[in-house]
Amino acid sequence: MKVKKRFRDYVLIILGSAVTALGISLFVAPAKLASGGVSGIAVILFHIFDIDVGLSILALSVPLFIAGVKIFGRRYGFASLVGTLLLSAFTYLFGMLFGYEGMLDYSDSINTLLSAIYGGLLGGFGIGLVLRGGANTGGTDIAAQIISRYTPLAVGTSLFIVDGLVLLSGGFIFGLESALFATLSLYVTSISINYVVLNIGTRYAKTALIISDRHEMISKRITQELGHGATYLQGKGAYTQKDKPVLMSVIPNRKISSLIAIVRESDPGAFMIIEEAHEVMGEGFSTLDYH
């Protein structure tokens, strides 16, 4: 079962990386859309210095990944490194095939709008698949976590600042219209990601409340397979008047699909509520000590 799940996860990571790279090479890069993230920086570098987008993504993402591992430990895992490398490789491959010229005539601004929409859709759908596979494509989310580690800023705020700087840089270089289209593309990307991974909003983690007769097994699997803890809350059934423990666990967004699978496999009859978690701080997340 674990081998089958691992195979499925890596299929999702490979497919998601390819779809994201396709959106970058066919729509985002040709339309000069610096829509945040490492890919946005890579688009800027491509149009200024003619540096291949895939190579730029690799050169920017790998050091960030290494820094994340050194600062936070091995929580990113091998799968996330694979996602980072695959996104770079697929972007480079598609760039070689299509030349980052796209399929539309960008003398007409309506085509830039179409690229913002479809590039965002493909990018978000691909990233969503990678997240469903239990990995990520690295980039500015790691930078945001590093900033949050050493400043009072929350991860979401840090990510907003980093992506905002990329958008502003793109607007300064490519013009205001390009920046507005890039903002739209970033928004479409977030909506697309939400659709794929059932992630409402752009929060860093979710709180899961689980009521199950097999709570001990679920708790053990959360600890061993996801690397996160869980807490028992005292509950009492309103109808049965029987005491029943409620398992609470805070899980990063990229691992939510894995949590759902664990609960489904352990107890198909379990009752679970998943809701947004705000300002998650402590072991495994942003540090409480900002200094």
How many whole angstroms from its chain centre is CA 243? 38
pLDDT at 165: 93
Which residues form the domain of 122? 2-197
In a domain, 65, yes or no: yes
- Last residue of a domain, which of 197, 224, 247? 197
The per-residue pLDDT for range 7-22, each reduced to its tens digit, is 888 898 999 999 999 9
pLDDT at 144: 75
The per-residue pLDDT for range 234-286, each reduced to its tens digit, is 888 888 888 889 999 988 877 888 888 899 889 988 999 988 776 566 665 55
Task: Say whether both 60 and 105 belong to one domain.
Answer: yes
In a domain, 102, yes or no: yes
The per-residue pLDDT for range 200-237, each reduced to its tens digit, is 433 467 889 999 989 999 999 888 888 888 889 988 88
Count the neighbouring beta carbons within 10 Å of the beta carbon of residue 174: 20
Task: Say whether both 113 and 244 belong to one domain.
Answer: no
Sheet holding 205-211, edge to edge: 231-236, 243-252, 205-211, 271-277
Task: Say whether both 159 and 255 belong to one domain.
Answer: no
Question: At a CB cut-off of 8 Å and minimum separation 6, what does 130 contact?
Answer: 12, 13, 16, 17, 20, 83, 136, 137
Question: At a CB cut-off of 8 Å and minimum separation 6, what does 219 contact?
Answer: 230, 232, 247, 249
Task: Say whether both 192 and 139 belong to one domain.
Answer: yes
- Last residue of a domain, which of 197, 232, 259? 197
Total structural domains within the chain = 2
In a domain, 286, yes or no: no
Task: Say whether both 183 and 209 belong to one domain.
Answer: no
Task: Say whether both 75 and 11 belong to one domain.
Answer: yes
Provide φ and ψ at 245, rounded to 5°: -70, 145
Task: Say whether both 252 and 161 belong to one domain.
Answer: no
Task: Say whether both 164 and 215 belong to one domain.
Answer: no
φ/ψ region of 173 (left if φ > 0, alpha if ψ in -120 to 50, else beta) reads: alpha
Helix/strand/coil for 26: helix
Instruction: Find the farthest-apart pair of alpha carbons in the chain and give their distance in angstroms, rounded.
Output: 70
Outline where the chain has alpha helix (H).
Answer: 2-23, 37-49, 53-72, 77-98, 109-132, 140-150, 155-174, 176-197, 215-221, 256-266
pTM of the model: 0.68
From CA 257, how far away is CA 280, in angstroms rounded?
A: 19
In a domain, 243, yes or no: yes
Q: Which residue has the tokens 């991974």?
A: 197
CATH number at residue 267: 3.30.70.120
Task: Say whether both 83 and 156 belong to one domain.
Answer: yes
From CA 20, how far away is CA 130, in angstroms rounded?
A: 9
Distances 250 to 12, 208, 229, 287 between C-alpha atoms, Å: 24, 6, 8, 15
Task: Say whether both 173 and 226 belong to one domain.
Answer: no
In a domain, 289, yes or no: no
- Last residue of a domain, which of 177, 197, 217? 197
From CA 222, how far away is CA 258, in angstroms rounded?
A: 9
